Amino acid sequence: MSNAGDEKIIKEEIADLLRTLVSVPGVTGFEDSIRQKIISLLPPTGARISTDNPGNLYATVPGADTGRDGHLRVMVCAHMDEVGFVVNNIDDRGFIFLYPLGGIPEYLGPGEWVTLHTDKGDIQGCVGIHPPHLAVPARREIFADVGARNREQVQQMGVITGTPVTFTRHFQQLGNDRVMGRCLDNRMGCAVLVALLRRLAANNIEATVTGVFSTTEEHGMLPVSGPARVYGARGAGVAAMNLRPDFAVVLDSIVCSDIPGIPPHLRQVRLGAGVALRLVDDLAIMRPKMRAFLKEVASAAGIVLQEGISRSYTDASVIQLADVPVATLGIPLRYAHSPGQIADLNDIVQTLHFTTAIVQKVNLYK
């Protein structure tokens, strides 16, 4: 394990990566800007860079030359998209109606500041709210106001049907190694993957590792508060078919249940208590052999694990369909899919150490 001085340096590196990554929009299906930003962070890794039609980003670091025939092929995947909205319609008074992409809680939106990402540049606005002074129907539409007087003024700003929209929130360091940001789900995973790729060559790892920054993971989860209908990720499925890896690791968030309102018997994952194994969700179940392997690797590396069960899905749901053994790691996160998500840098650093240990020991998975 690293000493205290090394841990501080790694935490600063992760915080800097998060500050950079959270500042760039990447609504699911509109990941071009965040993909270009990640590419700009990869030259020090020496990785071979490529993309595909769905917009996935591949960064491959060849395995060390050990004199053996062939290398195991390991896919480490982190989705780079985020939940958000697209413009659905613009009425004649200049109000902009929004269509949610991803599982945004239905009570979120009204009163929030938003940024509309047009080809002409970013436009600021807010999601309209019905104040208590007005009698309104039970069903309330989600609409944005950018200060325009009519549809023509909105269109002159570059806003059209299909324009992606994000909450206007960025990255903030809090006390006690806690951080807050709009899309820590899953820029945390992206930060870990960038940091991992930076270290692979120096760690003399035998396996050939391809980091996949995947697209459209969030697309498919409906914006409801109850049990969600889910369809699974898409970008990672294409990546798995293209790479045909021998082993895969998925880096994603896992919701913390250590907040008010959660009954004690449902509290599993705590913020600041370390990386978690995502054992079960709506579309994937970790195989017992994989669970045993990961716990053995963690024990040897001195890493304390949490274990949890979650609704929804991750990229593992589609990678497994390519007949690939998948280790799904969850980075604890409070308030997922909201404008103010909170994580602990120590959990993120532990995820980096654990992922490094896994790719170093992957040849022991049998």
Contact (Cβ atoms closer than 8 angstroms) between residue 96 and residue 87: yes
Q: Return d(Cα 179, Cα 69) in angstroms, integer.
A: 44
Residue 12: active-site member? no
22 Cβ partners below 8 Å, 6+ apart? 170, 171, 181, 182, 183, 184, 187
Q: Which residues pair with 180 in a beta bridge?
A: 172, 342
334: DSSP letter: B
Q: Return d(Cα 166, Cα 178) in angstroms, integer.
A: 23
Is 71 marked within a binding site?
Answer: no
- At residue 240's C-alpha, the angle toward residues 185 and 357, to 5°, is 65
353: DSSP letter: H
Contact (Cβ atoms closer than 8 angstroms) between residue 182 and residue 22: yes
- At residue 312's C-alpha, the angle toward residues 323 and 182, to 5°, is 115
Q: Which of 7, 13, 106, 217 is catalytic?
A: 217
Is 7 marked within a binding site?
Answer: no
Is 265 marked within a binding site?
Answer: no
Q: Which long-range contacts (CB under 8 A, 24 or more apart) does 287-291 make?
A: 287/325, 289/325, 290/325, 290/326, 290/327, 290/365
Is 79 marked within a binding site?
Answer: yes
**Residues with catalytic function:** 217
Residues annotated as binding site? Answer: 79, 185, 218, 252, 337
Which residues are annotated as part of the binding site for Zn(2+)?
A: 79, 185, 218, 252, 337
